[in-house]
Amino acid sequence: MAVKGEEAATGAQVKPTAQRNFTDPDSRIMKTADGSYHYSYTGQAVVDEDQQVIVATDLNNTAVDVQQLGPMIENTTETLGRMPAQWTIDAGYCSAGNLEHVREIETGSDGGTEFFIATGRLKHGEKVPDTPRGRIPKNATAKERMARKLTTKRGQAVYARRKAIVEPVFGQIQTRQGKHVLLRGLEQARQEWNLIAGCHNLLKLFTVRTAAATAGT
């Protein structure tokens, strides 16, 4: 019962219709990293592996990230003009629908792109298929297939890189600008998040150019 209660509390969401912030009606109550609840927005970012440049952003008032994966894939592809070769994505974006969606993208790309999505905890009755070197069981679900891929040496190595790619970017932004946007209203907050991402990218460009100039002297 304690486990079920913990899972229920973790997945609990306050209905948007039951919320009202008089200073910013567009914001929503969300659980923050310290376990408390605040009126907030959720910032999305896709980060380049080589230079930690933010290549796609969005900001919304939905506490759950699952719905944002499809739009962020499209946003990234449109910005870059191509599909990235690899994606490492945290468990917040994992769902049966999203796993099927990325599997279709992988199949359509003919090996041109590959997704590595953390699956989080497997539900009762789900299990990671045995013998990663062997054939994948035909009845394995999309989630079980992804969990299996992440247990391989290659899967572990690829996903481990995520900590060094995207996490430092959010840390750097929080150190410079803090954890909060200052503007009220969804659209204004979204534009502020875009500006923050742009400033981050300019600093990365400045760092690269300074390093190149120093190396050339």
Q: What is the pLDDT of residues 59-79, one digit of tens each?
A: 999 988 999 999 999 999 999
pLDDT at position 109 over 80:
yes
In a domain, 156, yes or no: yes
In a domain, 1, yes or no: no
Residues 16-42: b if buried by 16+ CB within 10 A, e if exposed: eeeeeeeebebbbbbbeeeeeeebbbb
Domain limits at 115?
19-211
pTM, full prediction: 0.81
pLDDT at position 5 over 60:
no
Which amino acid does the sequence have at 26? D
What's the pLDDT at 215? 80
The pLDDT tens digits for 127-186 are 665 555 667 777 888 998 999 999 999 999 999 999 999 999 999 999 988 888 899 999
pLDDT at position 41 over 50:
yes
In a domain, 109, yes or no: yes
pLDDT at position 122 over 70:
no
pLDDT at position 116 over 60:
yes
In a domain, 8, yes or no: no
Phi, psi for 205 (deg, rounded to 5)? -65, -40
In a domain, 10, yes or no: no
In a domain, 6, yes or no: no
Neighbour-count burial of 92, counting CB atoms closer than 10 A to its CB (0-12 exposed, 13-18 middle, 19+ buried): middle
In a domain, 11, yes or no: no
**Can you tell me which residue has the tokens 């380049």?**
48
* Residues whose CB is less than 8 angstroms from the CB of residue 9 and which lie 6 or more positions away in sequence, other chains included: none
Number of independent structural domains in the chain: 1
Neighbour-count burial of 206, counting CB atoms closer than 10 A to its CB (0-12 exposed, 13-18 middle, 19+ buried): exposed
In a domain, 2, yes or no: no
What's the pLDDT at 134? 66
